[in-house]
Structure 1
Amino acid sequence: MLFGLDALATHDWSRLVHAYGHATDTPGHLRRLVQDVDAAWEDAVAHLHTAVTHQSTVYPVTAPVAMVVAGLLEEPGFDRPISYGWQEPPRPVRAHLLDFLAAVAEGTEPDRSEGELWSIYHNPRQRDTDGPWDIETPAWAYDAVMECRSVAPALVDPVLRCLPDDDPRTRAAATSAAAALCLVPTVSSRRAEIVALVEDGARDAATFHERVEALETLDRFGGVSRSFLFDRHPGIQLIAAFSSSLAHDPDSSSAVWDAVTDPERAAAWYSARSVL
């Protein structure tokens, strides 16, 4: 598999579609990622999040684009913050790209089996196998999801290399992307490795809030270890106690009891300056 801009020439983009039609404009947006211009980056990121993926849906163009983006993650300029979205403060370009890869993983509908997806999406009467994709035809959806599942294992290592990034916002985005990929059935062989790396982040992160984000990520796939019930920080103990995997653990009650019996002390755990 080719990564980065090298992958652009391997596809006939006129035969692929995104949320708004044929993807002939997508290569231009991807090339803008290497222009080192804030406006170009913002335009490209917007295209990724509104056209290449859209409201949790993946398209025939999504898997090829994911390979391009994964190959560009380590571009040195991508540590510069840009604005995207109405409510979000500026974040590094790399964080936005990791968010896109997380959306790709989530768009594979990992909670459904391949057979279930086939039943939902496949309709051979609507398929024109000799012509370009018809954006009005839902038959392409199954193939799009399967293609994203197929490339998901190749996305793992580029994402994991971003876990130790210097910027905490990028580390958080990498953690979320790794967790989303972990749920994709084709990545199951690396689940234990990914969980271990996210656990390391939950234990070793510099700030309390980053540790909480890592724990919340682990909770998405029921991966919160009991060891966090005995963490050095009582706030982490409490977050672990309310995780889905530990909510009924007998040792969870002590963390909850400490919080309710001394609320003033508990409030200090969550201050903006809470750092370990």
Structure 2
Amino acid sequence: MAGHEVATDALKVIEETDWSGLTHAYGAAGDTPAFLLQLLDEDPETQAEALGMLEMSVLHQGSLYDATAPAARFMAAVLPHPRTLAEHESYFPWDDRPRPLRAALIDFLAEVAESAAYDGDPDSDDDAAADSDADPDADEAYDDEADAIEACLAVRPTLFQAVVPFLDDDHPEVREAALGAVSHLLKAPELAEAVPAASRRLHSTLADTTRERRERAAAALTLGTWGQDTTAHLTDADPAVRVCAALADGAAGDPRATAVLLDALSRPAEADRWFPEPLPQFDGWFRFTLLRILLKRVESYEEAAPAALALIPLASDYTVDQDWGPLLAKAFPGGREPGSDLTPAQRDLLHALAENDACWGNIGNKYSWLRDAGLPQKREELRSLL
């Protein structure tokens, strides 16, 4: 019954919106209502295709249009509908996860919130504003985009109220999607009063050791992004949860957090396996994030040296920008002075690199890192320093 009532509310969004006057990535948004209604079709494949069309049109590569906010309002209104429980794979071949449509819809709302918060940042608009000053057509497009962003920012409280009940959904995929969306939606200043209650819910999730690792880790990460204290979880029984608690900015000054990161990086391949499906907060292997945060927090390379020596066997030409390049920068701040002696830690690092064949292919990115570190760019010349 409740699901049908919500669907009725969603239909009001369809009926009260002048879709013919709105646009999306491919022009007029007159086709958008049909796709929105197909989200509640009896056929899961039709639902998946409809969502795919909406992702390509009203949220194309994260861009916002004047059709985005009303589409998001419709999706928020239908979340409780029973047909959003239908499980299917994404319309796109690169995402073959079978999961409830409800989780995918919430992910859509999360991306709307994330894009609005980013695009609504004045510092992110400098280039577009400069272009608009030089081109009247660009000026009009810039104004349209600004209006679309403003509309999506304004709808965040509505989206939050729709999503927050699903933090306790029976489906882990839905709970994870809801957590991701809430983490973005609560960046809205007008929702600041909701942060304490949401934080209590996440602390409760963290305390519940029967919850899956992924869910507890995501809770720790979200609390960190909200500026909440996660240090109580630095001693959690699960090393993945400990690490996610240690990644919070609020834990930066705690030596225990640094120790947790160092411990995880002593077994980097194991840390990479903690989350077979990467957490949405991170790109690439998990070890890359751990190293990036560690290097920000330690004063000297020597503190990170044990982690470095564990990481180098996994390094290659293709990972230089994420691992051994930043390690060289930390080990040789300002670059090595010609003729200067190497410290034992520097020598061990260079020896490990020189012995790793995978680091010496034909990819050119390594040369700038070596040059900036004041080191030879050829393998044999590097060996001659040892």
Is TM more than 0.5 here?
yes
What does the per-residue CA deviation read over 1:107-161, in whole Å, with 9 as the maximum and x for residues that have no partner? Answer: 213575569769955969958xxxxxx9x82320111111111111111111011
Is 1:102 aligned to 2:110, yes or no?
yes
Q: Which amino acid aligns with 1:216?
A: L
Q: Which amino acid aligns with 2:117?
A: E
CA pair 83-234 structure 1, distance change in 2 beyond 3 A: closer
Partner Cα distance (1:260, 1:143) in 2: 45
Q: Which amino acid aligns with 1:156?
A: F
Q: Which residue number in structure 2 is paired with residue 35 of structure 1? A: 41
List alignment gaps of at least 5 residues for structure 2: 1-7, 277-386
1:238-253 equivalent positions in 2, closer than 5 A: 238-253=243-258
Q: Which residue number in structure 2 is paired with residue 130 of structure 1? A: none
Is 1:93 aligned to 2:97, yes or no?
no
Q: Which amino acid aligns with 1:194?
A: A
CA pair 116-46 structure 1, distance change in 2 beyond 3 A: closer
Q: Which residue number in structure 1 is paired with residue 192 of structure 2? A: 188
Q: Conserved in 1, the CA contact under 8 Å of 2:118 and 2:124?
A: no
Which SS does the other structure have where 1:248 is aligned? coil
| Structure ID, larger Rg | 2
Number of aligned residues = 262
Which SS does the other structure have where 2:116 is aligned? coil
Q: Which residue number in structure 1 is paired with residue 179 of structure 2? A: 175
Is 1:5 aligned to 2:11, yes or no?
yes
Partner Cα distance (2:240, 2:125) in 1: 41
Q: Which residue number in structure 2 is paired with residue 83 of structure 1? A: 89
How much has 1:61 moved relative to structure 2?
A: 0.5
CA pair 246-19 structure 1, distance change in 2 beyond 3 A: same
CA pair 116-173 structure 1, distance change in 2 beyond 3 A: closer
Q: Conserved in 2, the CA contact under 8 Å of 1:15 and 1:23?
A: yes
How much has 1:254 moved relative to structure 2?
A: 4.5
What does the per-residue CA deviation read over 1:169-190, in whole Å, with 9 as the maximum and x for residues that have no partner? Answer: 1110010011111123443332
Q: Which residue of the other structure, out of 45, 49, 56, is the alignment partner of 2:55?
A: 49
CA pair 171-191 structure 1, distance change in 2 beyond 3 A: same
Over aligned residue pairs, what C-alpha RMSD do you find? 3.3
Q: Which amino acid aligns with 1:180?
A: H
Q: Which residue of the other structure, out of 207, 211, 215, is the alignment partner of 2:216?
A: 211
Partner Cα distance (1:46, 1:214) in 2: 28
1:55-204 equivalent positions in 2, closer than 5 A: 55-84=61-90, 85-88=92-95, 89-110=97-118, 112-113=120-121, 126=136, 137-204=141-208
Structure number with the bigger relative contact order (C-alpha 8 A, sep ≥ 6) is 1
Q: Conserved in 2, the CA contact under 8 Å of 1:70 and 1:155?
A: yes
Q: Structure 1 residues 182-191 or 97-106, which shifts more?
A: 182-191
Partner Cα distance (2:155, 2:275) in 1: 41
Q: Conserved in 2, the CA contact under 8 Å of 1:118 and 1:142?
A: no
Partner Cα distance (1:91, 1:161) in 2: 18
Q: Which residue number in structure 2 is paired with residue 131 of structure 1? A: none
CA pair 138-3 structure 1, distance change in 2 beyond 3 A: farther
CA pair 221-37 structure 1, distance change in 2 beyond 3 A: same
Partner Cα distance (2:115, 2:176) in 1: 20
1:221-240 equivalent positions in 2, closer than 5 A: 221-223=226-228, 225-240=230-245
Partner Cα distance (2:119, 2:28) in 1: 29
CA pair 147-236 structure 1, distance change in 2 beyond 3 A: same
CA pair 256-53 structure 1, distance change in 2 beyond 3 A: closer
* TM-score normalised over the length of structure 2: 0.60
What does the per-residue CA deviation read over 1:205-260, in whole Å, with 9 as the maximum and x for residues that have no partner? Answer: 61112211222333444445221113243442233223333133122244346557
Q: Conserved in 1, the CA contact under 8 Å of 2:167 and 2:178?
A: yes
Q: Which residue number in structure 1 is paired with residue 382 of structure 2? A: none
* TM-score normalised over the length of structure 1: 0.81
Partner Cα distance (1:17, 1:90) in 2: 31
Is 1:26 aligned to 2:32, yes or no?
yes
